[in-house]
């Protein structure tokens, strides 16, 4: 900061002409000082006339002397003013209630941000101002992260509740009831049965699926409108309006199901997060969610894996059982050290040859220094020796494999000839 101030003083004290806008700025200052808004143009014309027709030193010489005389005084005044403002701000933070838009920062919390914040902040800012900006950004990051974590957890809870519940038509009202879905253990061999049943999600009831209201609202589940309503109900200050809930019977039934599971607004203690920040974070979440399920790729992969598993269990149940047991045995007996790659020899040789190329380049750079040249030549010879040793060692390891291939090829040649 001091170096920048010194450079600024040097630039201003050696200026060959007055800085652009200095007379206009002085006129505006005089206008605000004397409270004469109607005389603004007159003040500006008088100042320009005076500066152009004044007798004595040139304007730029007068400016240079003024900078040399007053710069340090202004610098000290501004520095002391910033320090006193920072002290008053600290005292206010300790004595007052935290601002609703600025939640308290938990020093033990950690958040990750993919953007480089420091590059966005000007380097010539006062440290107190920069610290204030960083605290604002930190609070925004913590608030938005907490909001998205709670929101994504809420979405997962809703999906889990849908797995064990079914929509049904209760008169003219759509409601939910607990039912067991399809027990998947009934279609697998007895060797793979578990102690507890494994249920899948329950299909929709016929009477509900035929309802026009159901069809219109069911397609909106986990879409942008549904996400916005969830955010308003569980994280908004006023909550969702009754008129809005009445227009979405399926979503209302799902909210009632969450209430029955004791999942309410108080379950997600997001405090002092501005609504604008939550709205921005929600848009990013909805975009990511939409991109994830933009097509049927993920669900098709899950179904393919399910079909492959069922085919294995039914067509080769004993072999599949033995395969799983072998995997478990291998994992339990697997040594802690990492198994070497089948291409580890080639990787080592490649790295050594790269080192050799660098050493040879350094030899060419050190031709002027005889002592350094000898060291570089010695390093090249050692690298060449290591490469020859590795090639011989790997050739011995690969020789049995090569002999086997040679025997097989010889047999093929004899057959075809």
Number of domains within the chain: 3
Q: What are the pLDDT digits (tens) for 212-222?
A: 777 778 888 88
Task: Say if 11 falls within a structural domain.
Answer: yes
Task: Say if 207 falls within a structural domain.
Answer: yes
Can you read off the two tokens belonging to residue 13? Answer: 């004290």
Q: 3-state class of 19 per DSSP?
A: coil
Closest CA to 310 of 197, 184, 198: 184
Can you read off the two tokens belonging to residue 223? Answer: 């879409």
Task: Say if 347 falls within a structural domain.
Answer: yes
Q: What are the pLDDT digits (tens) for 373-382?
A: 888 888 888 8
Residue 102: per-residue pLDDT: 47
Give the end of a domain, one of 75, 92, 110.
75
Q: Are residues 61 and 157 in the same domain?
A: no
* 41, 23 Cβ separation under 8 angstroms: no
Give the end of a domain, one of 294, 309, 329.
294
Q: Are residues 286 and 358 in the same domain?
A: no
DSSP state string for 208-232: HHT-HHHHHHHTTTTSHHHHHHHHH
Q: How far is CA 416 from CA 353, 404, 410, in A?
A: 42, 19, 10
Q: 3-state class of 124 per DSSP?
A: coil
Can you read off the two tokens belonging to residue 341? Answer: 């790659």
Residue 57: per-residue pLDDT: 72
Residue 194: per-residue pLDDT: 65
Residue 352: per-residue pLDDT: 87
Task: Say if 10 falls within a structural domain.
Answer: yes
Q: Are residues 284 and 409 in the same domain?
A: no
Task: Say if 304 falls within a structural domain.
Answer: no
Task: Say if 153 falls within a structural domain.
Answer: yes
Q: Are residues 284 and 367 in the same domain?
A: no
Tell me the C-alpha distance between 277 and 101, whole Å. Answer: 10
Q: Are residues 350 and 266 in the same domain?
A: no
Q: What are the pLDDT digits (tens) for 288-322?
A: 888 888 888 888 888 898 888 888 777 777 777 78
Residue 35: per-residue pLDDT: 52
Task: Say if 318 falls within a structural domain.
Answer: no
Task: Say if 275 falls within a structural domain.
Answer: yes
User: CA torsion angle for 284, 288, 289, 290 (degrees, to 10)?
Assistant: 100
Q: If you search the block for the tokens 């033995």, which residue do you land on?
A: 322
Residue 98: per-residue pLDDT: 45
Please list, in sequence order, all residues whose beta carbon lies within 8 angstroms of the beta carbon of residue 282, skipping any fewer than 6 positions away: 147, 148, 151, 227, 228, 231
* 165, 178 Cβ separation under 8 angstroms: yes
Give the end of a domain, one of 233, 264, 294.
294
Q: Which residues of the chain fall short of a pLDDT of 70?
A: 1, 21, 27-40, 43, 51, 54-55, 81-116, 190-197, 199, 334-344, 408, 411-417
DSSP assignment letter at 183: B
Q: How far is CA 382 from CA 163, 175, 223, in A?
A: 67, 80, 65
Element (H, E) at 21: none
* 168, 175 Cβ separation under 8 angstroms: yes
Q: What range does the domain containing 373 cover? A: 343-416
């Amino acid at each position: 900061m001091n170096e920048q101030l010194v450079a600024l003083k040097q630039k201003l004290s050696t200026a060959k002409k007055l800085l652009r806008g200095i007379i206009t700025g002085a006129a505006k200052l005089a206008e605000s000082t004397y409270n004469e808004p109607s005389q603004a143009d007159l003040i500006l014309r008088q100042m320009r006339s005076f500066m152009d027709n004044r007798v004595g030193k040139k304007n730029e010489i007068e400016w240079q002397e003024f900078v040399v005389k007053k710069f340090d005084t202004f610098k000290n005044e501004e520095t002391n003013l910033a320090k006193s403002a920072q002290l008053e701000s600290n005292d206010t933070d300790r004595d007052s209630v935290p601002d609703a838009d600025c939640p308290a920062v938990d020093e033990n919390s950690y958040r990750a941000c993919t953007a480089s914040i420091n590059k966005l902040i000007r380097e010539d800012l006062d440290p107190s101002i920069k610290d204030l900006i960083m605290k604002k950004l930190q609070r925004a990051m913590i608030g938005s992260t907490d909001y998205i974590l709670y929101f994504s957890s809420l979405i997962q809870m809703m999906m889990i509740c849908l797995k064990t519940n079914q929509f049904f038509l209760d008169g003219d009202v759509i409601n939910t009831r607990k039912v067991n879905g399809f027990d998947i253990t009934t279609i697998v061999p007895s060797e793979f049965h578990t102690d507890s049943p494994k249920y899948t999600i329950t299909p929709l009831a016929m009477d509900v699926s035929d309802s026009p209201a159901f069809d219109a609202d069911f397609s909106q589940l986990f879409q942008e409108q549904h996400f916005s309503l969830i955010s308003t109900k569980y994280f908004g200050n006023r909550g969702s309006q009754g008129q809005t809930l009445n227009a979405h019977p399926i979503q209302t039934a799902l909210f009632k199901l969450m209430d029955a599971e004791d999942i309410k607004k108080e379950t997600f203690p997001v405090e002092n997060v501005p609504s604008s920040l939550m709205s921005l974070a929600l848009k990013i979440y909805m975009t990511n969610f939409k991109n994830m399920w933009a097509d049927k790729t993920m669900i098709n992969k899950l179904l393919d894996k399910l079909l492959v598993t069922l085919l294995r269990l039914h067509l080769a149940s004993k072999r599949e059982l033995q395969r799983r047991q072998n995997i478990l045995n291998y994992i339990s007996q697997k040594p802690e050290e990492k198994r070497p790659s089948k291409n580890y020899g080639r990787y080592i040789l490649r790295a050594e040859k790269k080192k050799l190329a660098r050493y040879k380049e350094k030899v060419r750079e050190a031709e002027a220094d005889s002592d350094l040249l000898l060291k570089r030549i010695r390093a090249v010879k050692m690298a060449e020796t290591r490469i020859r040793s590795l090639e011989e060692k790997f050739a011995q390891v690969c020789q049995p494999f090569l002999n086997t291939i040679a025997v097989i090829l010889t047999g093929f040649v004899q057959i075809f000839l």
